[in-house]
Chain A
Amino acid sequence: MLQTKSKIPIKVILTPLFFLIIPSIAILTIFLTYPELSKENFLRRIIFIIPTSIILIFISKHSLKYEKGTSKRFYLNVSYVIFTIIWLFGFLGGNIVISETWNNFPFYINLGKYVSLIIFVATINIIYFFLEYKVFKIELESKKLKTQFSK
């Protein structure tokens, strides 16, 4: 008998792709295209991106081990959202107000509203995971009851 190959979930493929491979390539490409830009900025971003993306890959892989409706899966999903915000924050420079010095004068980029939008989207995702947890928890409990009755 032929054994069926185990399917790799899309989330496990997309997480390293979107959080590690594509951003790293983008940073390296910009770094090589614009050698006049400060190395520190790129290094700071790389240092921030690599550990957070590894944590995200780990979370995405482990969250799929648990069934929907279990508290572990819910907590892992919420931590996935939180680490995504942290990752994004680091990717954009690690500060709400980015101060640059161009042509010897201070120049400020305020990302306040943008960060608020990110937090708003993250909240929607957390609400979704919470509702998913509630809906599937009921389903899991009813399944358990059914199996108990059948026994």
Chain B
Amino acid sequence: MNKKQLIYIRIPALILSCFIAFLSLGNFLTVVTHSINIDIPEEHDVSWAIDPVNKELLFLTDFTINNQGAYDIDDIDISAKLVTENGKKLIDYNKDDLVVKRGSNKTFEIKIKTSFNDLNLIDLLEILYKNSVFKLFIDINACYMFGLIDVNVDEIIEHKWWAPLGNISQDDYIVKKLFNIIPKLDNKNRYEKIDINDFSFIDLICNQDLKTDWNYDIFIDVIDDIKHDLKTISFGINTPIDKIDGNINIGFKILFHRQNDNFDIKLKEVNIGYVAN
């Protein structure tokens, strides 16, 4: 090797050293000034809903990544796991390859749903009838600065679960009515004919000791005219529950069919949801 050949090694070595110096300064500023920040949801940021028609349990939450650093955050992988108090895994959730561009903030919605069909009867009954504590394990991995830096967040959110049918189940009348209506909802045909009297128990649900007052709203959302005598009516009941610091929403979509002096009411959709205050 001669002096000239030495230059061929010296030049890339110098360029790489300058590159490292440049990255280090940018990285130093990012690390020290907390330019990358992740707002993880807390207990009150988690809401749930039960969709009895599709027989699904939904958990909704979101988190925000604030990237005020010099480089994009990419390959963001999120995994969430919902576990019962006794360690039984209910839901697994994964989302991969998300990106947050530099100088931007982005909110990602975590929508975890599980079908009741995937749960065994004991777990399902536990969810519906027993107050418990759910643990939501959230694991976020991301890459920064051309994949040279890995960012990792692990968090466990403990979410108090108030069984939606916990208090209702104490009432014989409601239980009887529920047992009447649930097989109809179980039917794959959503247009199963259900008598409006089947819903008379709703008034009693809102009068349970879950609720602190009477002021629930019954509201009609939309009335769609399919034909002159055929309408779709969406309405819901919204009732605040101070005990669990939230609101219960029960929504219905019904098909209203008028035939001369008689009318048919067919249930299209029912959902029960909980929204934290």
Contacts and interface: CB of A to CB of B under 8 A. Distances in A.
Chain A partners chain B: yes
A134 B25 CA distance: 34
Nearest to A99: B152
B37 interface: yes
B30 to A, nearest CB: 9
Interface residues of A, number: 37
Contacts of A131: 1, 6, 9
B121 interface: no
Interface stretch (A2-10, A56-64, A118-126, A143-151): A118-126
A121 B16 contact: yes
Contacts of A105: 40, 153, 155
B166 to A, nearest CB: 31
Contacts of B145: 114
A93 B31 contact: yes
Given A93-B31, A134-B1, A18 B147 contact: no
B151 interface: yes
A109 interface: yes
B153 A92 contact: no
Given A37-B33, A108-B153, A92 B27 contact: yes
A135 B10 CA distance: 13
A142 interface: no
A127 B1 CA distance: 13
B20 A121 contact: yes
B13 A118 contact: no
A124 B13 contact: yes
Interface-central residue, B24, B38, B144, B155, by most chain A CB under 10 Å: B24
Contacts of B38: 102-103, 107
Interface core residue of A41, A92, A105 (most chain B CB under 10 Å): A105
A88 interface: yes
Contact of A107 (B10, B148, B149, B151): B151
Contact of A91 (B24, B144, B148, B154): B24
Interface string A3-37: 00000000000000010000000110010001001
Contacts of B151: 107-110
A135 B2 contact: yes
B122 interface: no
B224 interface: no
Contact of A132 (B6, B16, B39): B6
Given A91-B24, A91-B28, A92-B28, A103 B33 contact: no
Contacts of A121: 13, 16-17, 19-20
Interface string A66-97: 00000000000000000000001001110000
Interface of B: 1-3, 6, 9-10, 12-13, 16-17, 19-21, 23-25, 27-29, 31-34, 37-40, 144-145, 147-155
Given A124-B9, A124-B12, 16 more contacts: A18-B21, A30-B29, A42-B32, A91-B24, A103-B38, A103-B39, A107-B38, A107-B152, A107-B153, A109-B31, A113-B148, A113-B149, A114-B149, A127-B9, A131-B9, A135-B2
What are the 7 closest A-B residue pairs judged by CB atoms, nearest first? A110-B150, A114-B148, A108-B152, A121-B16, A124-B13, A128-B9, A113-B148
